[in-house]
């Protein structure tokens, strides 16, 4: 089964509400939708970055250029089922650009799984769970509105996407706390996040103990991404768990963080790691080091979220659940199928491959004009 074609489309999907972060306010999310054709089948994937290049080194525009001009010509004609060869070819041809590689890697996994009539989760080893507890983000920039929204979510029915999910009530620009419902425990756990550029170490050392006293169980990326030493010291000095997000940007960064036991948890993201296989490797590094895995998100659409669900469902342990809120933050979906949140958990889609299919009318509607 040879790769016959690889196409890319930039789509811009509005959000239901603005998401206020320290580096930008997100009113829409841009994605590159990738379709890989081989043997009469089409696999789909997605690449993107929260807020574009203000968060990381890639944007929808760079992802499309890298795929169209460097990766697609290299892969066309190659065996679509040889995922290892495809990853090796991409890594030799292009440095970094992990989201671009991830988009193709997801599409190739989808294609191979569909050809074998398997789900991606079954293709990569099988599921440990069929659903994952989800944390909901509240980041409007208005603390009172976020608190009201969190209370409203907690009163909603279990079949509503917003129920029992975490909220992030901002204490300032780009910072905040979010409670996550723990099913069967009758309470909500609280987490705090500081988006890049983050606090300096001294400020973090003052505020993290106060957050712990207030009942916060997890603090995400409190200091700038390159300051591994500060992460290690804050982890050693505090009882609250420290989560690496922006600092976790490659296999080598995962190894370095694990070697120094610099954090308590890794926020996994397929786009950060270059795809499915590398994300599983990062999770394995975490497991070997006694570090927890957390199901992170890049505000992925239903395409990227489905891919992440298949990966996270195979992990042996996911104690902090996931933050796969993208499909419910966006004003519309890009697939024929919805994803489901029920009983405070997001459920793995059923079917071969990703378990979701592109809604081509929606994709055309949100396609960016050339």
Range name among 232-236, 246-250, 285-289, 306-310 with the lowest pLDDT average: 246-250
Q: Per-residue pLDDT averaged across 295-301, rounded? A: 93
pLDDT single digits (tens) 140-197: 556 666 666 556 555 543 433 332 223 333 322 233 444 454 433 345 566 665 555 6
Tell me the H-state helices in the chain: 60-66, 72-75, 83-93, 98-115, 120-123, 143-155, 201-213, 228-237, 251-259, 270-273, 276-289, 302-312, 326-329, 360-366
Q: What percent of the chain has pLDDT over 90?
A: 70
* Domains of the chain as residue ranges with CATH: 3-117+359-366 (3.30.390.10), 122-347 (3.20.20.120)
Q: Per-residue pLDDT averaged across 224-239, rounded? A: 94
pLDDT single digits (tens) 312-333: 999 999 999 999 999 998 999 9
Strands of the sheet containing 175-182, edge to edge, are 169-172, 175-182, 187-194, 216-220, 241-244, 265-268, 292-295
Residue 103 pLDDT exceeds 90: yes
Q: What is the pLDDT of residue 57?
A: 81
Residue with more model confidence, 19 or 155: 19
Instruction: Tell me the whole-structure pTM to 2 decimals.
Output: 0.87
Residue 35, strand partner residues:
7, 44
- CA distances (Å), 280 to each of 50, 250, 254, 295, 355, in order? 22, 12, 12, 12, 20
Q: What is the pLDDT of residue 177?
A: 42
């Amino acid at each position: 089964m040879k790769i016959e074609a690889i196409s890319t489309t930039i789509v811009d999907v509005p959000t239901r509400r603005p998401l206020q972060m320290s580096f930008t306010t997100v009113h829409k999310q841009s994605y590159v939708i990738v379709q890989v054709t081989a043997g009469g089948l089409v696999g789909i994937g997605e690449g993107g970055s929260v807020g574009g290049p203000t968060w990381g080194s890639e944007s929808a525009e760079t992802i499309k250029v890298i795929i169209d001009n460097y990766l697609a010509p290299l892969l066309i004609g190659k065996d679509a089922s040889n995922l290892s060869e495809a990853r090796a070819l991409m890594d030799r041809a292009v440095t970094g650009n992990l989201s671009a590689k991830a988009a193709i890697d997801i599409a190739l996994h989808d294609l191979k799984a569909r050809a074998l009539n398997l789900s991606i989760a079954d293709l990569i080893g099988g599921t440990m769970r069929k659903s994952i507890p989800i944390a909901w983000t509240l980041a409007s920039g208005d603390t009172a509105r976020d608190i009201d929204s969190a209370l409203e979510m907690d009163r909603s029915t279990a079949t509503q996407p917003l129920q029992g999910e975490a909220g992030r009530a901002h204490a300032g620009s780009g910072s905040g706390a979010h409670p996550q419902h723990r099913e069967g425990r009758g309470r909500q756990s609280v987490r705090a996040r500081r988006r890049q550029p983050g606090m300096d170490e001294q400020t973090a050392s003052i505020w993290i103990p106060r957050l712990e006293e207030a009942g916060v169980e997890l603090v995400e990326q409190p200091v700038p991404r390159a300051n591994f030493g500060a992460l290690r010291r804050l982890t050693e000095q505090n009882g609250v768990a420290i989560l690496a997000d922006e600092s976790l940007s490659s296999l080598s960064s995962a190894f370095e963080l694990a070697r120094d036991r610099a954090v308590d948890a890794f926020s996994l993201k397929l786009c950060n790691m270059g795809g499915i296989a590398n994300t599983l490797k990062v999770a394995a590094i975490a497991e070997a080091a006694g570090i927890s895995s957390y199901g992170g998100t890049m505000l992925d659409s239903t395409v990227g979220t489905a891919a992440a669900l298949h990966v996270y469902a195979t992990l042996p342990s996911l104690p902090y659940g996931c933050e796969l809120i993208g499909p419910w933050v966006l004003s519309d979906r890009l697939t024929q199928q919805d994803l489901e949140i029920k009983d405070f958990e997001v459920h793995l889609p059923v079917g071969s491959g990703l378990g979701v299919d592109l809604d081509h009318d929606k994709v055309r509607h949100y396609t960016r004009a050339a």
